[in-house]
């Protein structure tokens, strides 16, 4: 009898916790297992389902504001329509191990790559109604590698840290110095950075 009461009490407490604004996340339909926020590390679903329940304008407003707060900790956000369901950021040059005080990818390998060459990130966050209610939040962080004429690793005896100017300056016919536009090559996504932002969104929603 005590065991039955104990189980019933746990079930009621669990249902109440799911009803809180985003303090429990539910994965997409194809993976019907409850996913709880890993505030101290771990892997989140991507996308995650937050604010379980029927999608409402009020619920969207809460999710949108928390997404803005979380993403703004790492990137500068581009202006955009509030109800477009998408948040985009400006590209940001990745910081390496020589700048430990700056935010960057939590992956040690990515941090090393950013130390040896010039990388930048940009983020896109999509907010969509979930199939089972609530809102799905999908985070994508894209990497881009600077396209330079001579790779840093091709220079024998070159220092680990970049000493070349980031912008080539050429003198035109009028004698004015004109910078050459920097070119960037897509280099895939950064899953570790995506997980970091997902956890930050979870923390904001659990306040």
pTM above 0.75, yes or no: no
Three-state helix/strand/coil letters over 57-116? HHHHHHHHHHHHHHHHCCCCECCCCHHHCEEEECCEECCCCCCCCCCCCCCHHHHHHHHH
Residue 114, token pair as written in the block: 């950013």
Q: What is the pLDDT along the chain (207 residues), one digit of tens a residue?
A: 444 444 443 444 344 433 444 454 444 433 333 334 443 444 567 888 887 777 888 899 999 999 999 999 999 999 999 989 999 999 999 988 888 888 888 999 999 988 898 999 999 999 999 888 889 999 999 999 998 765 544 444 444 445 445 555 555 555 555 556 789 999 999 999 999 999 999 999 887
Residue ranges of the domains in the chain? Answer: 2-205
Task: Decide if 143 contacts 190 (C-beta within 8 A).
Answer: yes
């Amino acid at each position: 009898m005590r065991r039955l009461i104990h189980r019933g009490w746990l079930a009621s407490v669990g249902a109440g916790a799911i009803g809180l604004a985003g303090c429990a996340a539910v994965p997409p339909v194809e993976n019907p297992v409850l996913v709880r926020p890993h505030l101290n590390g771990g892997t989140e679903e991507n996308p995650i389902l937050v604010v379980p329940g029927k999608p409402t304008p009020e619920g969207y407003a809460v999710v949108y504001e928390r997404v803005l707060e979380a993403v703004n900790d790492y990137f500068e956000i581009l202006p955009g329509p509030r109800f477009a369901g998408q948040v985009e950021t400006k590209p940001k040059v990745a910081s390496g191990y020589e700048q430990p005080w700056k935010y960057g990818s939590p992956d040690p390998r990515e941090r090393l790559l950013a130390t040896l060459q010039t990388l930048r990130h940009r983020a896109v966050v999509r907010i969509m109604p979930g199939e089972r209610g609530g809102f799905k939040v999908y985070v994508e962080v894209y990497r881009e590698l600077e396209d330079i004429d001579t790779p840093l690793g091709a220079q024998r005896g070159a220092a680990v840290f970049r000493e070349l100017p980031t912008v080539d300056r050429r003198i035109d016919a009028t004698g004015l110095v004109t910078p050459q536009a920097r070119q960037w090559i897509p280099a895939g996504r950064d899953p570790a950075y995506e997980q970091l932002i997902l956890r930050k969104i979870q923390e904001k929603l659990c306040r």
